[in-house]
Amino acid sequence: FFNIIHACFGTRRKTLLNSLCLNMGLNKEQALNILSFAKISPEKRAENLTVLDYLKLYFGYIENMQ
C-alpha cells in the first residue's frame, strides 16, 4: 500500500499515469488498467486523491498484477 503512495508522490508535477510508470516499473497498459479498475483519471495528480482513492489503487494493483 505505502509503495503505491510513495510511487504516486515520487516524481514532482507528474500525472498518476506517469508516476506509476516511472516509479513502479509498470508499462502504460498496466498503469491504465490499475487506474481504470480504481475509476481514477490517469490525468489526476497524487495530491488530488483521497485516502479511499489510494485504497482503490492498491486493490487495482493487486487485481491486475497477479
- pTM, full prediction: 0.90
Residue 28: how many CB atoms within 10 A of its CB? 12
Q: What is the pLDDT of residue 13?
A: 87
Q: Which residues of the chain have pLDDT under 50?
A: none
Residue 19 one-letter amino acid: S
Is residue 29 a contact partner of residue 2, using CB atoms and an 8 Å limit?
no
> What is the distance in angstroms between the CA of the first residue and the CA of the last residue of the chain?
15
Res 11: pLDDT: 87
